[in-house]
């Protein structure tokens, strides 16, 4: 197929074919990643700005490495070093940066719709690296790639997404994508962290974690934001761990072939036991590797899918 | 003797339409309405003559936020939208919570000289819901009534006391109904749209919960109460119930809550970020039904100017509110009348006749003996909502750069032409 989109803003707007296409490309880039010399000239002479208005380690490093492997020139702008703190608007920041003749902007921002906002106002290709509680498309893509590496096909797989669904952009991107693949999705969270309106999504809701983990091919654990407790959404970490954490004891009860996934960074002992993170069923670090490959594929395709 | 003759008018009152009439106005009063002949006068052939509009809810930002709007630009905007009488809300910076501030606004009204302004004072000092204001003195200074608009009076005891204190006078009490504990941090209505867009949701019940408390207090005290900008089916049915017990209850809806439902938020357009949030299609349908069956008394703009640089930002940072004076009639005519959801007589009833009655001001009905507060509308003319069309300092409207039918060609206050479209 031929890639036609100018921006990557969400999983919702992608077709299943487009997702497959990105992942196919990502597998090729993963081969390159495994070579001693990891550089290809695909984006030589192109300038990419990583505009991060929210703290991030993993995603920022992952994008930076992907850009370097593709021979792009990139700069990182984070809230602490930009003029955002001085009261400059996102639009002015972006326009100023673009006036320096950039080609692509990778943006992470706390406002849903921020990447779309930018894509409608500047000429560069825009990649959404997480917009508030809306979507985190590159995370979902690397997750689908990781699952495909193990199961080949996502159709009819039984997947559990466990944790703070309500505030999770990762969960939204995953659900959109899984439903395009006819994956069977179960969500598990305390009711206060589960959206009240899920009628438009063909997903199962299970509040009992011990039932939820049964027969799952994939157990996807979300990061628990500790500030949710202060907002009165759950009473204590103690009870959260007891009722909703992937403890080692629960780990022993999941299917033999099941895999454990997590978008990182993990809170050991909170949403999952440290031993579960390091267990043989955990593919958490494979996700991280695939993240670089997927981001290479996306930058490559948005640039027209050509070398130089 | 000042006189004005308008010929070949199609007169629209809330209860009937009369074609091809000549309206003769002397000293601000309609002295006769006759069948048109070839006589002299302003020829309004094909156009419609309506009673001028009365807005129960607007924000002119003066004093304090004149960069968004000032009294003069706000008044020009109102006149260009066919409004000759406007209620202005007290939530300025600082709020209008004392007689001197009301006096200032009345002085500005005189300076402008071409419109009737009805300022509301705050119910509580600094709108903090702790102490009630000097309402008697504010009435004497020219306040039409009171409201803690924009926030609402959080403390039930204070709200009850305020209503009781002012109950010996007939004044217009408008309440903004919002449960801040439920709405805090929210961006749009909680629904599948908030889930899909990732914009945090406000449960719609926050409105009717607060409406219930306020109606209950007013009914307990047997006082009048006006519920501002209602947005849900449940609120409307609650109001219907209470109207049976207390005839002095009235309510308003904004044009945008009659036109847009929450599905517009998929575009993250901050010019549709409003409070109360836009609701479901089901709610919009019930509000439209409410204007037709008489359960909603008035359409009010909630004209809320914000500068482009305040709105042209990430959704979560944009302030709530949109302007409404200029587009009120054309947007309602285009989206409701032309789509057969209501008729022009109903618009006249809710934009003119009823709000004037609620405020207890000159009757908005075109007949001999009444003041000539009029608006001339060309229903077939399309207007382009661009910078030139908008008289407000701010352009925060979802209709910006869109075309609408129903041009306000002329606005007349007491027989005097106070606005004329070029």
- According to DSSP, the residues that pair with A205 across neighbouring strands are A187
**Is the CB of A198 less than 8 angstroms away from the CB of B194?**
no
A109 is in an annotated binding site: no
A16 is in an annotated binding site: no
A214 is in an annotated binding site: no
Can you give the pLDDT at residue B192?
Answer: 96
**Is the CB of A198 less than 8 angstroms away from the CB of B195?**
yes
Kindly report which listed range (A87-101, A162-176, B166-180, B359-373) carries the lowest average pLDDT score. A87-101
Contacts of B314 in chain A (CB under 8 A): 90, 109, 111, 113-114, 117
**Proportion of chain A above pLDDT 70, given as a percent:** 97
Question: Cβ of A264 under 8 Å from any chain B Cβ?
Answer: no
Question: Cβ of A90 under 8 Å from any chain B Cβ?
Answer: yes
With 0-12 / 13-18 / 19 or more C-beta atoms within 10 angstroms meaning exposed / middle / buried, residue B88 is buried
Question: Cβ of A112 under 8 Å from any chain B Cβ?
Answer: yes
Q: What domains appear along chain B, each with residue ranges and CATH number?
A: 3-48+370-420 (2.30.40.10), 52-359 (3.20.20.140)
Question: Cβ of B271 under 8 Å from any chain A Cβ?
Answer: no
Contacts of A200 in chain B (CB under 8 A): 192, 196
Mean pLDDT of B136-144: 98
- According to DSSP, the residues that pair with B373 across neighbouring strands are none
- Fill in the DSSP letter of residue B99: H
Contacts of A109 in chain B (CB under 8 A): 314
Whether residue A15 is predicted with pLDDT greater than 60 in this model: the reply is yes
- Fill in the DSSP letter of residue B152: -
Q: pLDDT for B164-201, tens place per residue?
A: 999 999 999 999 999 999 999 999 999 999 999 999 99
**Is the CB of A196 less than 8 angstroms away from the CB of B192?**
no
Choose the CATH number for A16-136+288-302 among 3.40.50.300, 3.40.50.2300, 3.60.20.10, 3.40.50.1370. 3.40.50.1370
Distances (CA, A) of B232 to A217, B173, B183: 43, 21, 15
With 0-12 / 13-18 / 19 or more C-beta atoms within 10 angstroms meaning exposed / middle / buried, residue A257 is exposed
Is-contact B406 B68, C-beta < 8 A? no
Mean pLDDT of B152-160: 96
Q: Which two tokens stand for residue B227?
A: 């519920």
> pLDDT-derived band of residue A226, with 50, 70 and 90 as boundaries?
confident
Nearest by CB to B315, from A12, A111, A169: name it. Answer: A111
Nearest by CB to A132, from B195, B312, B316: name it. Answer: B316
Can you give the pLDDT at residue A229?
Answer: 78
Q: pLDDT for B380-397, tens place per residue?
A: 999 999 999 999 999 999
The question of whether B234 is a catalytic residue gets the answer no
Instruction: Please identify which of the residues B55, B208, B302, B409 carries the catalytic annotation.
Output: B302
> pLDDT-derived band of residue A273, with 50, 70 and 90 as boundaries?
very high
Residues 6+ apart with CB under 8 A from A261: A143, A146, A147, A218, A219, A220, A221, A282, A283, A284, A287
Mean pLDDT of B241-251: 97
Whether residue A84 is predicted with pLDDT greater than 60 in this model: the reply is no
Can you give the pLDDT at residue A288?
Answer: 97
Instruction: Report the greatest alpha carbon distance in chain B.
Output: 64
Q: State the Cα–Cα distance between residues A121 and B368, nearest whole angstrom.
A: 56
Whether residue A228 is predicted with pLDDT greater than 80 in this model: the reply is no
Whether residue B217 is predicted with pLDDT greater than 80 in this model: the reply is yes
Fold of A138-283: Rossmann fold (3.40.50)
H or E stretch including B285? helix B281-293
Determine how many CB atoms are found less than 10 A away from the CB of residue A294: 30
A44 is in an annotated binding site: no
Q: State the Cα–Cα distance between residues A119 and A105, nearest whole angstrom.
A: 9
Comparing alpha-carbon positions, the chain B residue that sits nearest to A89 is B313
Q: State the Cα–Cα distance between residues A301 and A21, nearest whole angstrom.
A: 10
Contacts of A198 in chain B (CB under 8 A): 192, 195
Mean pLDDT score of chain B: 97
Kindly report which listed range (A113-117, A224-228, A298-302) carries the lowest average pLDDT score. A224-228
**Is the CB of A112 less than 8 angstroms away from the CB of B316?**
yes
Residue carrying the six token digits 């007939």: B170
Quote the minimal CA–CA distance from A113 to chain B in Å: 6
**Is the CB of B316 less than 8 angstroms away from the CB of A111?**
yes
In a mutagenesis test of the A interface, which of B188, B309, B315 is the best target, namely the one with the most A β-carbons within 10 Å? B315
Domain with CATH 3.40.50.1370 in chain A: 16-136+288-302, 138-283
Q: pLDDT for B277-291, tens place per residue?
A: 999 999 999 999 999
Quote the minimal CA–CA distance from A127 to chain B in Å: 16
ipTM score of complex: 0.92
- According to DSSP, the residues that pair with B282 across neighbouring strands are none
For the CA atoms of B355, B357, B360, B362, the dihedral, rounded to the nearest 10 degrees, stands at: 90
**Is the CB of B313 less than 8 angstroms away from the CB of A90?**
yes
Quote the minimal CA–CA distance from A31 to chain B in Å: 35
Can you give the pLDDT at residue A97?
Answer: 84
Residues 6+ apart with CB under 8 A from B6: B22, B23, B25, B41, B42, B44, B49, B374, B376
Whether residue A307 is predicted with pLDDT greater than 70 in this model: the reply is no
> What does pTM read for this prediction?
0.94
> pLDDT-derived band of residue B1, with 50, 70 and 90 as boundaries?
low
Q: How far is CA A111 from the centre of its chain?
A: 16
Mean pLDDT of A197-226: 95
**Proportion of chain B above pLDDT 90, given as a percent:** 98
Residue carrying the six token digits 């490093």: A61
Contacting A residues, span 148-187, partner chain B, CB-CB under 8 Å: 169, 172
Determine how many CB atoms are found less than 10 A away from the CB of residue A39: 12
Whether residue A95 is predicted with pLDDT greater than 90 in this model: the reply is no
Can you give the pLDDT at residue A80?
Answer: 63
Q: Per residue, what are the HEC states of B351-362?
A: HHHHHHHHHCCC
What is the SS3 assignment for B193? helix
Can you give the pLDDT at residue A85?
Answer: 57
């Amino acid at each position: 197929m031929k890639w036609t989109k100018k921006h990557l803003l969400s999983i919702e707007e992608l077709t299943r074919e487009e997702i497959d296409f990105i992942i196919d490309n990502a597998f090729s880039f993963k081969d390159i990643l495994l070579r001693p010399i990891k550089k290809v000239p695909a984006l030589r002479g192109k300038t990419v700005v990583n505009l991060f208005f929210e703290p991030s380690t993993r995603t920022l490093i992952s994008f930076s490495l992907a850009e370097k492997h593709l021979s792009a020139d990139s700069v990182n702008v984070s809230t602490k070093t930009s003029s955002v703190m001085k009261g400059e608007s996102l639009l002015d920041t972006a326009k100023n940066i673009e006036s320096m003749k950039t080609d692509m902007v990778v943006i992470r921002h706390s406002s849903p719709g921020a990447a779309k906002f930018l894509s409608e106002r500047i000429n560069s290709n825009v990649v959404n690296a997480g917009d508030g509680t809306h979507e985190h498309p590159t995370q979902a893509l690397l997750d689908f790639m990781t699952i495909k590496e193990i199961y080949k096909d996502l159709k009819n797989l039984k997947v559990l997404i466990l944790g703070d669904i309500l505030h999770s952009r990762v969960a939204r991107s995953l659900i959109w994508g899984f439903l395009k693949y006819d994956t069977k999705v179960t969500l598990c969270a305390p009711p206060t962290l589960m959206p009240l309106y899920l009628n438009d999504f063909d997903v199962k809701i299970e509040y009992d974690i011990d039932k939820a983990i049964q027969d799952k091919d994939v157990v996807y654990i979300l990061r628990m934001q500790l500030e949710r407790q202060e907002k009165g959404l759950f009473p204590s970490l103690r009870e959260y761990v007891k009722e909703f954490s992937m403890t080692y004891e629960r780990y022993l009860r999941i299917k033999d072939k099941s895999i454990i996934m997590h978008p990182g960074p993990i809170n050991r002992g909170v949403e999952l036991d440290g031993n579960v993170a390091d267990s043989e069923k955990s593919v958490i670090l494979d996700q991280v590797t695939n993240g670089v490959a997927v981001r290479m594929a996306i930058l490559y395709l948005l640039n027209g899918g050509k070398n130089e | 003797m000042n006189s004005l003759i308008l010929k070949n008018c199609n007169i629209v009152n809330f209860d009937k339409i009369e074609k091809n009439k000549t309206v003769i106005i002397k000293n601000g009063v309609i002295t006769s309405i006759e069948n048109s002949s070839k006589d002299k006068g302003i020829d309004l052939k094909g156009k419609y003559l309506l009673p001028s509009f009365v807005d129960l809810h607007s924000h002119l930002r003066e004093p304090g936020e004149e960069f968004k709007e000032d009294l003069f630009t706000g008044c020009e905007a109102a006149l260009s939208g066919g409004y000759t009488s406007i209620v202005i809300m007290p939530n300025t910076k600082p709020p209008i919570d004392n007689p001197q501030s009301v006096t200032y606004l009345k002085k500005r009204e005189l300076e402008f000289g071409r419109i009737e302004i009805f300022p509301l004072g705050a119910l509580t000092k600094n709108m903090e819901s702790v102490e009630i204001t000097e309402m008697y003195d504010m009435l004497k200074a020219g306040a039409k009534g009171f409201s803690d608009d924009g926030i609402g009076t959080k403390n039930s005891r204070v709200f009850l006391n305020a209503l009781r204190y002012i109950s010996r006078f007939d004044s217009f009490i408008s309440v903004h109904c919002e449960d801040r504990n439920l709405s805090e941090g929210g961006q749009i209505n909680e629904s599948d749209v908030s889930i899909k867009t990732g914009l945090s949701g406000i449960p719609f019940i926050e409105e009717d919960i607060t409406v219930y408390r306020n109606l209950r207090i007013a009914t307990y005290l047997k006082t009048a109460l006006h519920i501002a900008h209602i947005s849900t089916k449940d609120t409307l049915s609650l109001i219907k119930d209470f109207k049976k017990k207390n005839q002095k209850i009235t309510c308003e809806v904004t044009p945008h809550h009659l036109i847009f439902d929450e599905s517009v938020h998929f575009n993250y357009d901050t010019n549709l970020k409003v409070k109360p949030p836009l609701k479901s299609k089901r709610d919009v349908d019930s509000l439209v039904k409410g204007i037709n069956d008489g359960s909603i008394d008035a359409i009010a703009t909630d004209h809320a100017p914000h500068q482009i640089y305040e709105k042209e930002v990430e959704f979560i940072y944009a302030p709530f509110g949109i302007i409404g004076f200029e587009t009120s009639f054309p947007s309602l005519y285009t989206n409701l009348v032309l789509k057969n959801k209501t008729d022009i007589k109903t618009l006249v009833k809710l934009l003119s006749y009823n709000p004037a009655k609620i405020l207890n001001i000159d009757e908005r009905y075109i007949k001999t003996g009444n003041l000539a507060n009029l608006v001339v509308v060309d229903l077939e003319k399309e207007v382009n909502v661009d910078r030139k069309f908008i008289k407000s300092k701010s352009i925060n409207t979802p209709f910006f750069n869109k075309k609408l039918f129903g041009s306000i060609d002329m606005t007349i206050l007491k027989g005097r032409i106070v606005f004329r479209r070029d």
